[in-house]
Structure 1
Amino acid sequence: MKNMKANLEIITIAVLMLATIACSQTGSSEKQRSLSFDQDWLFIKGDPLRAETPEFDDSAWRRLDLPHDWSIEDLPGQGSDSVIGPFSKSSAGKMATGYTVGGTAWYRKHFTVNKSDQNKKVYLQFDGVYMDSDIWINGNHAGNHPYGYTSFWYDVTPYLNPPETENIVAVQVKNEGLNTRWYAGSGIYRHTWITIVEPVHISPWGVYITTPDVSDKNATVEIVTNVTNSESEDVTVICVVSLFDPSGNEAGKASVESSVPAGQTVDIKQVVRVENPSLWSVEKPGLYDSEVKVLVDNKVMDKLTTAFGIRTIHFDAENGFMLNGKSTELRGGCFHHDNGPLGAAAIDRAEERKIEILKNAGFNAIRCSHNPPSPYLLDVCDRLGMLVIDEFFDIWKKPKNKDDYSNYFNEWWKKDLQSIVLRDRNHPSVIMWSIGNEVPEAREQSGFDTAQELVNIVRGLDATRPITEALVDFSGVNSSGYTPWDDVAPHMALLDVVGYNYQYLKYEGDHEKYPERVMYASESMPMFSFENWQTVEKLPYVFGNFTWTAMDYLGEAGVGLARLIDKPEGSINSRAGLSHFFNPYSWPIFNNFQGDLDLIGNPKTPYYYQHLVWRESKVEMLVHRPIPPGKIEIVSPWGFPDELKRWNW
């Protein structure tokens, strides 16, 4: 226990150091005309009455900057064996949430709008709030947003006081009950933005860029700009698009005139040809910029620069995955969104460092399990050349926990889906949309119907990427050889690419039945990396393996941790039952121990094994920690024995 307290003190110091150097950097799109809204918020843990009202006295509240995650902060009652740092033995989520604590809390911010911005439109955007947030502006309820992982925005113009007069935004965040299977964090844990624009402007997430025709000599770039006219009269706009190559040189230009009716939005489509394009790839992730200007009477009303990549992606059963016409095997890793000792706070440098570490560790692809990532993380993946599976949901209509997203799915799935795709569809790093993970109703008609609805909406918003889903069959096979996996075939037929969680033994049999199906290991156990990678190298219709997980994460505490138990009479299987590892009372363990890398990016045993599998290394030598007399080691199927690269005893 003393060692654990010492380790937590070191973690606390690391958090403070990183927080000191952290700043809100602007992303590569949408943010040039937006200002960070992260500074000088007031915070209180608890649920005071009438905290949404302007006259509420918040003078005693704590002042902080966003992003902020209160679940990673030290709890009251330190010094006992039941509370250590942010971890509490009485946590509602127990091992699932790493013994952290949620609850309800409030944020408030006082701000003014300049006189020069009178008669303009004002939007507030939240990149992520976990969870079930309610937003008030000067006591007016702007809206509720249940899902903790999607970005959302409000037009707050009707609620603002006159310029130079104080406004107050109040945010209530409710992370209550059993709503997650892993550590989610709590609070406004991603960036916030304020955008002030003219009445005629580019709509939020209103630029969509595709590259329908690409070769080494020429590329066709299609830009669709959604323009909003909130004036009371029709306007004629001129939309000017300028493209700039990765070196900053102008690569093409187009201009078109369009009428935008009063109170409506209009899509304006333009096409630009680019000669000798620099193709975006994992090895050379060159980014273009699209600068869109909207003019009325020769006056610039709005301007927005969006980063994009010129590249092609293609999936089929003969060649697997092809990037720019080249077959590419995905060395993938799954990961959750937390940043280890920083909790869920999406600090830019922490997000960037995570992708740097994964790229240096040999990964060329990540699966954002099981929710969309922060916008800045995708900016980093674009810049560093990391391929991404952008995953939407872990739950549909059937719950995995009683207070989870299933309670909101029917009302919110379409809005959340639109938010994800509209926000992320310009990122060249995103190569697949994943509509779900191990959803319980996958075999049922209701699951088929839901998948059909999700697929239709996604294809309507972005038809340039394939749709996938991570599916699993833990039921085994009965005496007749029939498995419920076969019931999922109609569901799988809705997808462009099928993700197999822990099912590499099914590939060849399924290929005989469904020769056009494209497959990959959307999750695999680290100790079976060799077997999974052999299938990728052998079978052209299997294009990648995503290990669970690339990095350790908070929550699902101890699932991958090898344990010592008393030596029993007789023999025992070293791979003990899952009940040893999915133990809701695993205190004081708080992280999963399933990663190739630990919480802060240091290599672990599966990292070295993975590099042998990838042929990045010819031999690795590790030594097992001594096992005390009278004990034996049991090893999780998601873990490795307690082996060390370096030791001293």
Structure 2
Amino acid sequence: MRERLSMDKDWLFHHGDIAIPVENSHKAVYGNAKAGGIMGAASIEWNDNEWETVGLPHDWSYRQPFDREGGVPDFGYKPRGIGWYRKKFKLEPSDNGRQLLLEFDGIATYATIYLNGSVLGRNFCGYTSFVVDITDNVFYGDRPNLLVVKVDASVSEGWWYEGAGIYRHVWLTKKDPLSIADRGIWVNPVKQDGEQWLTNVETRITNERETAAEVELLSRVVRADGAVVAEERTAGRAEAGEAAVLKQELPVSSPLLWDVDAPHLYKLHSTLLVDGEERDTVTTSYGYRSIRICPDTGFYLNERPLKIKGTCNHQDHAGVGVALPDALHEYRIARLKAMGSNAYRCAHHNPAPELLEACDRLGMLVMDENRNFDSSPEGLRQVENMVTRDRNHPSVVFYSLFNEEPLQGTPVGRKIFKRMKQAILRLDDTRPVLGAMNGGVMEDGGTVDVMDIAGFNYMHGGYDRFHEKHPGQPMIGSETVSAFATRGTYVSDTALQFFDSFDRERANWGNTARESWQAINTRDYMMGTFVWTGFDYRGEPTPYEWPSVSTHFGILDTCGFPKDSYYLYQAFWLDEPVAHITGGWNWPGKEGQPVTVMTHTNCDEVALYVNGELRYRQAVELYEQCQWEIPYEPGTLRLEGYRQGKRVAVDEKITSGAACALRVETSKAALLGDGRNAVVVNVYAIDAAGRFVETAGQRVSFSLTGSGIILGAGNGNPNSHEADHLMERCLFNGCLQLIVGSDAGHNAIELTLQGEGLQPLVQVIPVEVADEPPYVLSVHERYINNWLLTQELSPERPDPNVEIHPTDMNSWEKVDVSFGPQQLLQGADGYVIYRSSITLTEREKNSSPYLYFHALSGDTEIYVNGRLLAKQSSPWPMTLEVALDDVELGDETVLSVLVGIQPDVYKPGINGAVSMGLRG
């Protein structure tokens, strides 16, 4: 049966490229040209004992210091470069005969995948999930497999912080060679008359066997409560070495629909049977929902008109770079949902699978975006990967093929778009396809009129003109606003590179939130908007550069702390009453001086009080809001919102005292002790009365005990150069955030925070008992596998340290001793020599190294650098340990093993793996 195992644990990592010593000898050149013969860091012999141990997801870039001189502003001044990953693991003999697939969810950026000294795959997009079949190249039993990934992040695809490394999950799938194909199931529910739905299912069966097979596919539709609501059994035939596609139609009456407000999900359980016996099972999550686009009235979900209230987002988060734990994806989507957002644009790339799963669960529509505008075979492969991976997600309602491409208005761009769109339609014809354009929309020979939807990036002054020219073309604001604000800041300061929060600072190509939403919301034919951006992100620090390292565009900062505009969007996008005061009320030394106060409300009328005295009561125009200049006086600022004369919402700001303590909010009540869970810990400065201190900036240190680890910290300051991974961080305008990850176990976490002038705080986070998901264990021994063996037996005892001529490829044979004994030695009489060499670091030399022979038989003598260290005589395989303490170990240590063989020796010679260990 199918197994899916995590490969995330215990990788060895080296930051920087690895220079392979130039070897021009015939032996080196000849060997490197052979399968499994790659030299350097991808070889089993490479010494990785000095490498760092890391877990995945892993982003090495965010841990690097900011580099103003050599860094790139677009990348947040963080170095990228090249890195190497290695993981040694074993497979059980029972796995022999199964198909083995490695699935990489995302590697930034270019990646080369090596297994056991051979290149098995390359990937050229940092946002593409891809699969490598390793079935033919693996070892079973005692011999470890070596998986090596070289990551070249010196190549960039975007103009924002992209991170570097294996920053998403890696999985190993084991399955029968006759099985359901990887990404082989597509569930496409289609509404029929009344409340009837037809669940169209296509299942691809692959047969890697040598004979054809008659198969049966049993498909069951299961509701969330476990009830089976439809079932179908279909017979088919899978020819040897080919794939068969079985199509099924499962009728379902009155399913619970997937909607943004009620995201009901179903599961399809697919079981492959041969002669009545189960061979494979796959479970697919999906939902019943319909989408319809009208060029006059916009977007319809389940035949209900729905204005798209979306945000554009990159994928990094404060404290962890792009290596987000799964729970953090859900946290971010939940923050956007609470704002009233119902749509998420993956800008400008295919997202992590866990993000789409969170959107499915929480009810968030998705514009799934391709990274590279490219119709070459490689470009089409990237598009196809996006579609086959994501088409079962009910949240995905749009495919976007590009963002702001110079060719968008040209005939060349038109041809590229059409070919890419055709690639999508061959796999999924149920979702509209668009591009996000910042020009070229009025060109007849460009891409726009071959799109299903015209995507407008800004250009809201051209909405009406385009609609008049193309009245049958649906339109969406694929990217809008680009307003600037710094959380908790109410006076713009060019020197400090901070922006105020009154929705008036914007990029020269953008608009305020109020201008943009009015342009969208007052036009029925505009189906909605995707605001740039939901969250601040590292890199592209527009309009400033150093010391800014993050953007100012976000509605929330890099931690997900709301800026004031968050409440403005709540006023726009929520039906329930919202009343929020925008403006600070902590201005020591400014008593009597006017300060700006603004409303963010959807109420008809507001009243503003200062220390109980009514200052203003007036009607509110939604797209303008109210703004006043009020003489500051410490105390209480109170805003009341009214609808039809009835008070329905209240907000207060109270002048605080000095910060003297901290308050903590966690994103969940407890952490799962499964080694993968995470919790967001938001920290706020408070005064003696427990009031939030919006101006606090003290440095806070933190530590924890129990089954957890601090993955990183942030504070949302776009100009902060503090390290994300250190155990201290300054508050920024009263806030900071920690990401606490699960360390397998069930001991409660005690998180201790303390700062100057702040009362120490101990926050207990319960840890619930939870099993670790199945994962592949790593092997940490250093293996010696580059053995040569004399081709002919010598009847007389030879010199065990005989010199090998560099061009001699015939007197000596390269052998893999871990596969067992050489058959040519069985029943023989005479002598053979095994030869290998290793290079040891100074640390290894000083750590009491030893050799360990897992299986050795015959009359054996072990020589190291020409010196006899051990003898053993046995007619059957035995282990042997050889200490190297007393040997002078130079740059290269030569190993020679002389074996005397007689016909009655069982499995003669070295017939098991050889490894090197350290005692020190």
Q: TM-score range by the shorter chain?
A: 0.7 to 0.9
Partner of 1:104: 82
Q: C-alpha deviations, 1:204-261, integer Å up to 9, x for none?
A: 1000000122566221101110000001111110011011012111011000110111
Distance 1:513 1:390, change over 3 A: same
Distance in 1 separating the partners of 2:560 and 2:587: 25
Q: Secondary structure of 2:270's partner?
A: strand
Structure possessing the higher relative contact order (Cα contacts under 8 Å, 6 or more residues apart): 1
Q: C-alpha deviations, 1:146-200, integer Å up to 9, x for none?
A: 1000000111011101334210100000011554300000000000000001110
Matched residue type, 2:66: F
Distance 1:326 1:60, change over 3 A: same
Tell me by how many angstroms 1:40 deviates. Answer: 1.1
Tell me by how many angstroms 1:627 deviates. Answer: 13
Distance in 2 separating the partners of 1:236 and 1:92: 59
Matched residue type, 1:388: V
Distance 1:116 1:593, change over 3 A: same
Would you say the 8 A contact 1:468–1:498 is kept in 2? yes
Q: Secondary structure of 2:201's partner?
A: strand
Partner of 2:471: 515
Distance 1:598 1:628, change over 3 A: farther
Aligned pair partner of 2:373 in 396, 399, 413: 396
Scaled by the length of structure 1, the TM-score of the pair is 0.81
Give the share of equivalent positions with the same residue, in percent.
33
Distance in 2 separating the partners of 1:648 and 1:255: 65
Matched residue type, 1:431: V
Q: Secondary structure of 1:459's partner?
A: helix
Partner of 2:179: 201
Would you say the 8 A contact 1:214–1:310 is kept in 2? no
Would you say the 8 A contact 1:499–1:519 is kept in 2? yes
Distance 1:187 1:648, change over 3 A: closer
Distance in 1 separating the partners of 2:200 and 2:68: 55
Matched residue type, 2:536: D
Q: Does 1:465 align with 2:431?
A: yes
* Structure possessing the higher radius of gyration over alpha carbons: 2
Aligned pair partner of 2:456 in 500, 516, 528: 500
Structure 1 runs of 4+ with >4 Å offset: 615-619, 624-629, 643-649
Q: C-alpha deviations, 1:72-123, integer Å up to 9, x for none?
A: 11x3xxxxxxxxxx32213442x20111110101000011111221111100
Q: C-alpha deviations, 1:483-531, integer Å up to 9, x for none?
A: x542266421111111100022211121111111111111111453223
Partner of 1:606: 565
Distance in 2 separating the partners of 1:328 and 1:178: 37
Distance in 1 separating the partners of 2:240 and 2:311: 48
Distance 1:116 1:100, change over 3 A: same
Aligned pair partner of 2:387 in 406, 412, 421: 421
Would you say the 8 A contact 2:454–2:476 is kept in 1? yes
Q: Does 1:66 align with 2:59?
A: no
Matched residue type, 1:612: A
Partner of 2:130: 152
Distance in 2 separating the partners of 1:627 and 1:457: 62
Tell me by how many angstroms 1:60 deviates. Answer: 1.5
Distance in 1 separating the partners of 2:139 and 2:540: 46
Partner of 2:45: 55
Give the alignment's Cα RMSD to 1 decimal: 2.4
Would you say the 8 A contact 1:72–1:343 is kept in 2? yes
Aligned pair partner of 2:15 in 18, 42, 45: 45
Matched residue type, 1:302: D
Tell me by how many angstroms 1:309 deviates. Answer: 0.2
Partner of 1:87: 66
Partner of 2:251: 273
Partner of 2:6: 36
Distance in 2 separating the partners of 1:360 and 1:114: 48
Matches within 5 A, 1:222-301: 222-301=200-279
Distance in 1 separating the partners of 2:172 and 2:221: 26
Distance in 2 separating the partners of 1:33 and 1:542: 47
Q: Does 1:135 align with 2:113?
A: yes
Matched residue type, 2:168: R
Partner of 1:622: 582
Between Structure 1 and Structure 2, how many residues are aligned? Answer: 549
Aligned pair partner of 2:411 in 412, 431, 445: 445
Partner of 1:480: none
Distance 1:276 1:411, change over 3 A: closer
Q: C-alpha deviations, 1:294-324, integer Å up to 9, x for none?
A: 1111111110000000110111113311000
Distance in 2 separating the partners of 1:327 and 1:182: 35
Distance in 2 separating the partners of 1:628 and 1:64: 51
Would you say the 8 A contact 1:38–1:66 is kept in 2? yes
Would you say the 8 A contact 1:421–1:458 is kept in 2? yes
Q: Considering fraction of residues, name the structure with more strand.
A: 2
Matched residue type, 2:514: F
Matched residue type, 2:554: G
Partner of 2:546: 587
Distance 1:177 1:460, change over 3 A: closer
Q: Secondary structure of 2:580's partner?
A: coil
Q: Secondary structure of 1:499's partner?
A: strand
Would you say the 8 A contact 2:204–2:245 is kept in 1? yes
Q: Which runs of 5+ in 2 are unaligned?
A: 21-39, 484-502, 504-511, 591-595, 597-626, 630-651, 654-692, 697-920
Tell me by how many angstroms 1:540 deviates. Answer: 2.1
Q: Considering fraction of residues, name the structure with more helix.
A: 1
Distance 1:362 1:227, change over 3 A: same
Would you say the 8 A contact 1:442–1:488 is kept in 2? no
Distance 1:164 1:489, change over 3 A: same
Distance 1:628 1:178, change over 3 A: farther
Q: Secondary structure of 1:508's partner?
A: helix
Distance 1:628 1:52, change over 3 A: farther
Q: Does 1:184 align with 2:162?
A: yes
Distance in 2 separating the partners of 1:485 and 1:300: 54
Partner of 1:487: 443
Q: Does 1:533 align with 2:533?
A: no
Would you say the 8 A contact 2:92–2:140 is kept in 1? no
Distance 1:373 1:215, change over 3 A: farther
Partner of 1:325: 303
Distance in 1 separating the partners of 2:539 and 2:366: 23
Q: Which runs of 5+ in 1 are unaligned?
A: 1-30, 76-85, 398-408, 474-483, 560-580, 634-640
Would you say the 8 A contact 1:329–1:536 is kept in 2? no
Distance in 1 separating the partners of 2:43 and 2:332: 40
Tell me by how many angstroms 1:626 deviates. Answer: 7.8
Distance 1:214 1:163, change over 3 A: farther
Distance in 2 separating the partners of 1:179 and 1:458: 22
Tell me by how many angstroms 1:612 deviates. Answer: 3.2
Q: Secondary structure of 1:594's partner?
A: coil
